Amino acid sequence: MHNMPSIYGMNFLEKSMLGIIPETVIIIFAFFVLFLAFFEKLAKRNNSYYLSLIGIVFSILYVLMLAGRNISGFYGSFVFNGFDAFLFIAILFSGLFTVLMSKDYIENSGMPAPEYYSLILFGLSAMMFLVSSNNLIMVFLSLEFMSICAYILTGYIKDNTRSTEAALKYFVLGAFASAFLLFGSVFIYASTGRLNLYGIHSFLQNVSYLGVAGSGGSIGIKVYISAGLILFLIGLAFKMSLFPFHSWTPDAYDGAPTPVTNFMATGIKLAAFAIFLRIYSLIYDFNVMNFNDILWLLAVFSMTFGNIAALLSTNIKRLLAYSSIAQAGYILTGIIGGGFYGYSGTLFYLLSYIFMTAGAFSVVIIFENSNLISLDIKKYSGIGYKYPFIAASMSFFLLSFAGIPITSGFMGKFYVFSSAVKSGYNWLVIIALLNSAFAAFYYIKIIVKMYMPDKEPAAASSNSSVQGNIPEIAGGAIDEGIMITIIICLILTLFMGIFPQIFINFANNSAGFLWRI
Amino acid sequence: MDIKILITWLIPLFPLSGWLLWGLFGKYFKGLSGYIASGFVGVSFILSVVLFFIVAYSHGFTDTLYPWVHAGIFKAGVSAVIDRLSVVMLVMVTGVSTLVHIYSIGYMEGEKGFSRYFSFLNLFVFSMIMLVISNNLLLLYVFWEAVGFCSYVLIGFWYEKKSASDAGKKAFIVNRIGDFGFAAGIFLLFATTKTLNYETVFTFIPSMPVYTTTAIALLLFAGAVGKSAQFPLHVWLPDAMEGPTPVSALIHAATMVTAGVYMIARFHIIFSYSPAASEVVLAVGTFTAFFAAFIALTQFDIKRIIAYSTISQLGYMFMAVGIGSYTAGIFHLISHAVFKGLLFLTAGSVMHGLSGELDLRKMGGLYSKMKTTAVTFIVGGLALSGIPPFSGFFSKDAILADIYNKGFYFAWAIGEITALMTAFYIFRLIFLAFFSESKLDPAKHVHESSKIMTVPMIILASLAVIIGFLGMPPFNESLFYGFLHTDFKNAAVFAPAVNNVPWYILSLISVLMGLSGIYAAYILYIKKTVSPEKIKSIFKPLYALSYNKVYIDEIYNFLIVKPMLVFFDFLWRVVDIKIIDGAVNGTASAFSFFSVKARKIQNGMLMSYILTLSIGAVALLFYYFIR
Amino acid sequence: MNNYLTVASIIFCIGALGVITRKNLIVVFMSLELMFNAANLGFVAASNYLNLISGDIFVIFIIVVAAAEAAIALGIAIAFYREKGTLDIDRANELKN
Amino acid sequence: MDFFIKHLLSVLIFFPAASIFLLLPINKKNQGVLRNLSTFLSLVELIFSFYLFVYFKQDTYKFQFVEKSSWIPSFGASYFLGIDGVSLFLILLTTLLTFISLLSSYRYIKEHVKEFVILMLLLETFMIGTFASLDVLLFYLFWEFMLIPMYFIIGMWGTGKRVYSAVKFVLYTLSGSLIMLFGLIYIFIMHYNQTGNFTFNILRLYNTNIPSGLQLILFIALFLGFAIKIPLFPFHTWLPDAHTEAPTAGSVILAGVLLKFGVYGFFRFAIPLLPEAAFTLAPFVIILGVIGILYGAFVSIVQKDLKRLVAFSSVSHMGFIMLGLFAMSVISINGAVLQLLNHGIATGALFLFVGMLYERMHTRQIKDFGGIAKKAPVFTALFMISVLASVGLPGLNGFIGEFLILIGSFHSYPVLTVIATSGIIFAAVYLLWMFQRVMFQGVTNPAAENFEDMNLREIITVLPLIILMFLIGFYPMPFLERIDPTVLHFVSMLNHHNIVYNVIKLKTGLSNA
């Protein structure tokens, strides 16, 4: 409650502006990139690509400058504190990766680059707004902003039926879900009369002091606010792609251009979880309603459904989509675990998650760019010998998904699960562990394909056995952007797996900001 | 280091080094290895004789070479006990081994794997020596099994013959069955006394509850049954005749098979404190003696006949130790070692002469062709059938007299009948092989064996004549008794002498038995006043029973081996693959089934997606508001 | 105000049902708009009841966003029609399993 | 030098991993260099590990070569290494077997040599780490990642249904160890709730006091993880497949080292952490072990595939070890630990010989062999020695371990011990029968006609194992006197727990009355 006065007290515009500088930078660069589209000459080559990279880097620098500040601007509809700093960095990284990995892809797709990059930048800024927004209006607006960018990006590739269809589905479902979110906020507003999150917080606090919201009291408020929160949760759960609000995930991931898939899988998920975490931590203290057992159900269903569905899927993008549903379940475990420990665990997991996902998708893109290979996993057979480094890193990311030690995936899982055990959700953890046991199967299935082509090594001589069906990378050379992405992801995944302490410290700081509210 | 201790450890050292030499560098030595090996064993024979006199004129001692296994309270060292019993055994073992080694040089001449043969023979001698002198049960058990292993290797010496390798395997496994009991006995002993060292164990025995003692004794005896081929574990010994004959002479007549008797004599305190166990020993011994002799009556394979006679003679020894007259048992052990070794060597020489012929029906009239062999064989035969003044007479009568005087009349009667049968079958063999008209094909050139083979035979034969006088009756005033019985003075007397019939009456009876057996063989096979066929037709079922070795092997095969194999196959094919692994793979397939179902939900229809979403929403609201 | 909210909820449900049942893309979009407007109604009612302005502000924003969404929607619809030659959403079944 | 000894364990753990960087630049075409270099490196590692043996103080149970530095403070996890008499020999076994299996695969591994040697060295790093780490999280890190190189080794160089076996191996063991992870996390949290600070230091976690009922559940959780690794009777089905399809080197490492981790886990974690549950459940574990002994032996008798036979024999041997461990007497645990080494040595050797047979005749079916003894005397002699060691013939290593186990267990579990003892009979049956059919009798398969005897490399490969068989058989003291103090301390610790436990039971009983 320490900064309550600063919320309702007078704020200076500069201070408010200071809070949103990173977003602003991104937006400005987005407009630059967009302007590039007007000049034929500039639109050629990769100006927009580099420009957006520069923008993101700048914004990261700004975030680092602001880190540690605690700003609340625009009459409390924004806050910027350690929590946001952490998530901004994460989101910007996911944007960075998305941009890095989309150079060749966009060229191959033959669509104009500037618009694409500007959309990504806009999406990024929207996510950052969403994270730092502290007001139901802002939440709704930035959510919609983000989603609209995502819709467009999903359907970005013209005359590609899959892309269009994905956009269609994503849009209809997304709008449907945000309608729920909206209606939820109606109820919340109606019951509390506040739109500012801190306001809601304080309201609930007072009510709970009066012993109303708890057991008994005026049923009206209790019912309204619970209904509102549930509807709100549904809206966010959609973005977090939790079962049963996941149904867009596989199709959208599948149809969308792969960099965009990566964007959705990392950025949007990150932002959604962040805002959910913020709201949840606000309402958690006083059990307005016992959220946890609903979340419990969602988590269990998500991970189980995701893993089981992924078990037999043959298209790698769909497989990753399903696995991301499962991962969402794991992340939710941390939130359920709750408390300082649980939240920092969740943040840690989110961070590690974006790195492994980005890595995996960039490997997928490499083979997609060389148009010889489809998304069918069968086509991956034997690439382990042709491209040792790429295959090795791919296996490493997959192992990280599976949660095998010395990868960040293990540390994250360990963190969130132990937090859940700490608050006594033993069955949840057992189920989650069993899940990750048989989830390992389909991750390993890909590794099997890459390294163990189904022919006797004795039969064919050393290398010719695996040369046969392997695609040549188009033009032989792999785009350096993607390689950079892979290397960064590899290093960070490994590093977070072995020496997680420094990242845990970051997560602790930001979680601390959550907690102090 | 004290000289006698040095000697003690040198005795096993020589054969051991021999084993290593031939085992590693055998192919560089060629024929030489035989002589050197015999030399080694000879040296340890001389050393043991020296040790014998040292002990005879001083007293026994024990020594520990090095601490071997120390784990917690479990302590066992490589340590030897040298007392009169062990030196007697040592002299016997090394002596017979030396002769057999020398004999083998001739017998195995030109064999492929000559050095391998001698290396394992040396290893056997080493193990046997260690078995005799070992001072704790762990060490005993170790070499108890080691000798079994040696016999496994040597029986299967001609491993390319399936029958040979089968026999070796059978010997090892049957012995293992016995050792299983032996091991259990050791465990029980350790569990009760917390030590395996002989003296310490023996101090505990008198104060031990008798049922424990009995249990221990019986379990140990199981080991003896296996090792000394007593019923029902006797099946391996006849098959063991697949091995080279000197091996049979050394291992399966003189030394290894008598280890059981030695063990009981060594643990006489345990056995004497448990009358029940001793009863069992007596019973088993008696039955086996009779049973084996009965089978031996009708066999035609000379080595098998001698093998069965070995089993039956071992039965005598067990009778002896079963009634607590350990000295007599050991005495019979020694004399039997001599004359049975002799019989085997001579049988080997016969085989050698006939280039591997074993079937009596294809022999005859060999006396003229191989005089030395024949004479020595007859000496052995007389000794076996207990005709004075041959050693067998003294030793066997010592046992039978004791049995009678201690009042086990039934056992005594059986013993006498067995004596009769023994005399009959051995002389049946002698007559058929050496005297009756020749049935072997003239093409085969029969020759007397070389000196290197005959000399050991002659030595053993002469021993068979003189050694008996060590036990000049009355036995318990004889030299041997006087020398050895001091070792057994601590034994509890559980079977006191009830009547004191003078020895000459009993001896007379048994001598008559022996003579009548010989006479029966004589009229059947030389005079032919009664044709064997006639006898055969009269006792047809009995004959069939005896001829087919009482069908023991068949029974085992059908009642135990076959069902077990079927059961194991069932375990593997059904329990392992179908049930357990089936469960494992079943879960996997179950998951993939669910996966198919789950992906049905993702059917690509926008409406169904929206439906799922809104159903989920409704469900959540509902879930909350019903609570 | 409960009545207002009830009405709003009913409208919302109608909209949802419309989205679920109708096959024509345009109708689906209309139903979505209906749901948004249900929310608007709720906000207006609430702010009126609570004598607060923030609800009304929210409504303005919602309308704006809805407009933007409609634009996207039509864009997608056109693209879809260009490819499939129809607006039947059941034809969007290329991505499955 | 002093520094070297001080950080010997770290050196041992990370030397193989570091040596990978030496191998990476080498072109995968020149396989000879790769083979020789990797073998040499593992030899160096082996020599390093001898220092461990030399500088090991044998008169104390305390952990030695201890290294401790902070790793993840916020989990209380630290880089905490140290060995006692048990892990000492297991580490030595690991280094030895890695060297041997690298040496053995010169002929077997024809393709992707580079990947192979790299994976082997990686595996070595993780195996040693698992034995050396005294921090639960560190242990788990090493423990679980170990699966991956092994999985690649089976899957890439295996035969027949290699992929199936590899995946089965990984999933089976992984599911086990994840359940185990739950148990470990729970204890970790429990310790936090009691003391208020996170720690993964196993020595501290020993002091967590856990109610009996909970202990049972947690013990079962840990039990699953370790029992699958051993593998104990009902969880053994991954083993035959993995063993059968794996390349020789893989089988050697799998049988020689990986199976030991289960027992080691029980020794280091399950039993000391949850002593009461261990005491309560010991009879059941022992029953499973004894079933395993007989079952493994029975099934081995009817096997047609050599490797499968040896695999099932491992099940039988591990049963003995479990019996010894859970009888919880000093003697039997001494025996069990010694038997861990013996099993590694004997079974490793058997797999090497089976591998040589396979290299020469390209079959593993017993019926295809026969009459090899005549062709290859040296091979026969050494093979026979290893077979007899596995049979448990006195004078060879196998005997000492089994005897100690049985004689130690007899006091508390006479009947079960006697049943287990009957296993020695069946061991003789299946191994000697196999040996007879493979080596003796006439030559049936023409391929056996020109069966060349072992060459120098192969002799060098197996010689260390053969020597060890005789050494342990005739003079096991160097091993036992180092193992004994550790075991003594272990048992006294348990007995202390046991007394407390009985006291509690007494109290509760009184309160109930």
In chain D, the N- to C-terminal Cα span, in Å, equals: 65
Predicted TM-score of the model (pTM)? 0.90
> Which amino acid would we find at residue A139?
V
What average pLDDT score do residues B465-480 get?
A: 82
Burial B597-625 (b: 16+ CB within 10 A, else e): ebbebbebbbbbbbbbbbebbeebeeebe
For β-strands A78-80 and A71-73, DSSP reports them as: antiparallel
Q: Is the pLDDT of residue A333 over 70?
A: yes
Q: B178 near B224, Cβ under 8 Å? A: yes
Q: Where are the domains of chain D?
A: 274-513
Determine the pLDDT at residue A216.
42
pLDDT digits (tens, 9 = 90+) for D238-258: 888 888 889 989 999 998 899
CB contacts of A226 in chain B (<8 Å) are: 624-625
B-contacting residues in D 461-480 (Cβ below 8 Å): 474-477, 480
Chain C: residue nearest B601 by CA? Answer: C97
- Examine chains B and A and say if they touch (3+ CB pairs below 8 A): yes
CA pair distance D380, D382, nearest whole angstrom? 6
- Examine chains D and C and say if they touch (3+ CB pairs below 8 A): no
- Is there a contact between B591 and A313 if contact means CB atoms under 8 Å apart? no
> CA-based angle A463:A469:A474, to the nearest 5?
105
Determine the pLDDT at residue D368.
85
H or E segment at A18? helix A13-19
- Is there a contact between B568 and D302 if contact means CB atoms under 8 Å apart? yes
Q: Which CA distances in Å does B89 have to B226, B262, B332, D120?
A: 20, 8, 12, 55
CA pair distance B336, B471, nearest whole angstrom? 13
Range among A213-227, B487-501, C33-47 rated most confident: C33-47
Percentage of chain B lying above the pLDDT 90 cut: 20
Determine the pLDDT at residue B217.
92
> Which amino acid would we find at residue B436?
S
Q: Is the pLDDT of residue A285 over 70?
A: no
CA pair distance C58, C41, nearest whole angstrom? 11
What average pLDDT score do residues A63-91 get?
A: 84
- Is there a contact between B616 and A227 if contact means CB atoms under 8 Å apart? no
Task: Establish whether the linkage from the previous residue to D247 is cis, with ω within 30° of 0.
Answer: no
CA pair distance B103, B376, nearest whole angstrom? 14
Q: Could you tell me the CATH number of the domain that includes residue C86?
A: 1.10.287.3510
- Is there a contact between B609 and A227 if contact means CB atoms under 8 Å apart? no
Q: B123 near B95, Cβ under 8 Å? A: no
Q: Give the three-class secondary structure for C75.
A: helix
What average pLDDT score do residues A435-456 get?
A: 82
Determine the pLDDT at residue A313.
85
| Residue partners of B317: CB distance under 8 A and separation at least 6 | B228, B258, B261, B285, B329, B332, B333, B336, B399
By the CB < 8 Å criterion, does D265 face chain A?
Answer: no
Which chains does A contact via 3+ CB–CB distances below 8 A? Answer: B, C, D
Q: Is the pLDDT of residue B93 over 60?
A: yes
A204 to chain B, minimum CA–CA distance in Å? 19
What average pLDDT score do residues D24-34 get?
A: 85
B75: number of CA atoms within 13 Å, CB side? 8
Which among D394, D424, D441 has the least Cβ separation from residue B160?
A: D441
pLDDT digits (tens, 9 = 90+) for D188-220: 999 998 888 888 998 888 888 888 889 999 999
CB contacts of B594 in chain A (<8 Å) are: 308, 311
- Is there a contact between B595 and A311 if contact means CB atoms under 8 Å apart? yes
Which residue range(s) make up the domain with C65?
Answer: 2-96
Q: Rounded to the nearest 5°, which phi and psi values hold at B136?
A: -145, 160
Structure tokens, A313: 């899927």
Determine the pLDDT at residue A125.
93
Determine the pLDDT at residue A468.
46
| Residue partners of B334: CB distance under 8 A and separation at least 6 | B88, B92, B395, B467
B516: number of CA atoms within 13 Å, CB side? 12
pLDDT digits (tens, 9 = 90+) for D66-77: 999 989 888 889
By the CB < 8 Å criterion, does B591 face chain D?
Answer: no
- Is there a contact between A247 and B615 if contact means CB atoms under 8 Å apart? no
Determine the pLDDT at residue D339.
93
Chain B: residue nearest C21 by CA? Answer: B607
Lowest mean pLDDT among A284-293, B16-25, B410-419: A284-293
Which among D140, D148, D182 has the least Cβ separation from residue A429?
A: D182
- Is there a contact between A452 and D182 if contact means CB atoms under 8 Å apart? no
Q: D33 near D113, Cβ under 8 Å? A: no
Proportion of chain B in helix, strand, coil states, percent, rounded to 5: 80, 5, 20
Lowest mean pLDDT among A100-104, A200-204, A214-218, D331-335: A214-218
CA pair distance B323, B332, nearest whole angstrom? 14
CA pair distance B525, B123, nearest whole angstrom? 43
Range among A201-205, B112-116, D64-68 rated most confident: D64-68
Reported as a pLDDT band with limits 50, 70 and 90, residue B187 is very high
pLDDT digits (tens, 9 = 90+) for B559-583: 888 888 888 888 888 888 888 888 8
CA pair distance A223, A203, nearest whole angstrom? 15
Domain count, chain C: 1
Structure tokens, B49: 């004789």
Handedness of CA B416, B418, B419, B421 (dihedral sign): positive
Q: Where are the domains of chain A?
A: 301-517
- Beta-carbon count within 10 A of B63 CB: 19
D144 to chain A, minimum CA–CA distance in Å? 6
D193 to chain B, minimum CA–CA distance in Å? 31
Tell me, what's the ipTM? 0.88
- Is there a contact between C58 and A140 if contact means CB atoms under 8 Å apart? yes
CA pair distance B246, D273, nearest whole angstrom? 61
CA pair distance D352, D255, nearest whole angstrom? 11
Dihedral Cα A193, A197, A199, A204, nearest 10 deg:
80
Q: DSSP letter for D328, please.
A: T
- Mean pLDDT over all residues of chain A? 83
B-contacting residues in C 14-43 (Cβ below 8 Å): 16, 19-21, 23
B605 to chain A, minimum CA–CA distance in Å? 9
Q: Is the pLDDT of residue D430 over 70?
A: yes
Q: Which CA distances in Å does D356 have to B24, B28, D350, D360, D434?
A: 22, 27, 10, 6, 16
Instruction: Give burial (CB, 10 Å; 0-12/13-18/19+) of B400.
Output: buried
CB contacts of B592 in chain C (<8 Å) are: none
By the CB < 8 Å criterion, does B612 face chain A?
Answer: yes
Instruction: Give burial (CB, 10 Å; 0-12/13-18/19+) of B38.
Output: buried
Q: Tell me which residue of B19, C61, C25, D59 sits closest to A165, measured CA to CA.
A: C25
In sequence order, what DSSP letters do the residues of B134-198 get, joined into one string? B-BHHHHHHHHHHHHHHHHHHHTTSTTSHHHHHHHHHHHHHHHHHHHHHHHHHHHHHHHHS--BH
Q: D239 near D314, Cβ under 8 Å? A: yes
C32 to chain B, minimum CA–CA distance in Å? 12
Which among D171, D299, D476 has the least Cβ separation from residue B571?
A: D299
Handedness of CA D14, D16, D20, D22 (dihedral sign): positive
Residues of A contacting chain B (CB within 8 angstroms)? 168-169, 172-173, 176-177, 180, 223, 226-227, 230-231, 233-234, 238, 243-245, 247-248, 250-251, 289-290, 294, 297, 305, 308-313, 438, 441
Q: Which CA distances in Å does A133 have to A125, A204, B116, B279, D61?
A: 12, 19, 90, 98, 60
Which chains does B contact via 3+ CB–CB distances below 8 A? Answer: A, C, D
Q: Give the three-class secondary structure for D373.
A: helix
| Residue partners of B458: CB distance under 8 A and separation at least 6 | B372, B376
Q: Rounded to the nearest 5°, which phi and psi values hold at D401?
A: -60, -50
- Is there a contact between A141 and C16 if contact means CB atoms under 8 Å apart? no
Q: Tell me which residue of A302, A297, A289, A352 sits closest to A330, measured CA to CA.
A: A302
